[in-house]
Amino acid sequence: MCKKIAILTSGGDAPGMNACIRSIVRSGLSQGFEVYAIYDGYKGIIKRNIVKMERHSVSDIINRGGTIIGTARFKEFVELETQKKAADILKEMEIDSLIAIGGDGTYKGALALHRQGIHTIAIPGTIDNDIASTDFTIGFDTALNTIIDCIDKLRDTSTSHQRCSVVEVMGHHCGDLAAYAGLACGAEFTLINEQLTNKAALLNDLKRQKSDGKRHAMVIVAEKIINVDELAHEIEREVGFDTRSEVLGHMQRGGSPTANDRVLASRMGDYAVNLIAKDTSGVCIGIIDNKLQYLDIEKALTMKRKGSIDLLEVAKRLA
């Protein structure tokens, strides 16, 4: 029997989602399946915003950021009634399988639909890299490169003026974007919530570096842990650097995906379709040591991330 697969993207968009959509559509069609796009995440099921895809529907999107099928955060999807309604709509349309691309909220939605009898596969798509069951999520590499580009530019002016720049980067509650950027940009200090270091240690380190002759400093801070404006004032007061704060914001989520994200997204999309072909359900895909793997979503949601403290230690030795 011909399978009918639907795709959705949910939660924050991430560069590479389009490459993944393209991969699922083309891989699915190559296997003789019908493929449908659900617009605007789980909400699109309830609104029956579901469109049949052809090979040409995904032409010229591999290089585009964002997601051509839209995304949304749909809080109501935690309710059992809404989940049942969504499953009923998919069954009525004879859509037997769903591939959901997104972060942990998306995983929870996919698990709920699996429990309602829809074959579901979740693919990690978020700039945050906060999914424990994979080394990398789609979008992380592009966001990291965007951050590096911004910080390199900031360094030019910050150095010229002998300033300290405090830069807040995204990541939700995960410090990976900050930790990788800290190492890649040669930051003087990186503050993430997984580390025990407190503000006093940051101020002491900067004071020491200043008295050792540093004329400028770059401080990278993961979002949601401290007010960077207040931190900048404190650094100015306590350390003596003329200091500015910047919040990079949503520009980190945009832009054309890097080669790494395009390749990762294309591989994961194709792998997901192969799992659907074998009637696998309730699982999520991960890449561990550059090998694609799958795991029960339920188990993945309980896993703890190992974090990036090791990168901070290297960065500290090199600062």
Stretch that binds ligand F6P, among 52-60, 169-177, 206-214, 281-289 (CB under 6 A): 169-177
Under rule CB under 6 A, residue 127 binds ligand F6P: yes
Identified binder of ligand F6P from the candidate list 171, 257, 269, 282, rule CB under 6 A: 171
To ligand F6P, the closest distance from the beta carbon of 50 in angstroms equals 24
Task: Specify the amino acid at residue 154.
Answer: L
Burial of 222 (0-12, 13-18, 19+ CB in 10 A): buried
Catalytic status, residue 40: no
Site for ligand F6P in 289-308 (CB under 6 A): none
- Asked if residue 57 binds ligand F6P (CB under 6 A), the reply is no
43 is a contact residue toward ligand F6P (CB under 6 A): no
Written as six digits, the tokens of 158 are: 């910050």
Task: Using the minimum distance from each CB to ligand F6P, give the nearer residue, 10 or 281.
Answer: 10
Exactly one of 3, 253, 262, 267 binds ligand F6P (CB under 6 A); which one?
Answer: 253
Residues 268, 274, 277, 279: what is their CA dihedral angle, to the nearest 10 degrees?
Answer: -70
In our burial notation (b when 16+ CB lie closer than 10 A, e otherwise), range 191-202 reads bbbbbeeeeeeb
Q: Is 134 in the site for ligand F6P (CB under 6 A)?
A: no
Number of residues that bind ligand F6P (CB under 6 A): 10
- Distances 111 to 44, 87, 122, 177, 246 between C-alpha atoms, Å: 17, 12, 8, 27, 38
Q: Which helix (H) or strand (E) holds 288?
A: strand 283-288
Selected catalytic residue, list 40, 128, 261, 270: 128
Token look-up 């101020």 returns 203
Sites of contact with ligand F6P (CB under 6 A): 12, 103, 126-128, 170-172, 223, 253
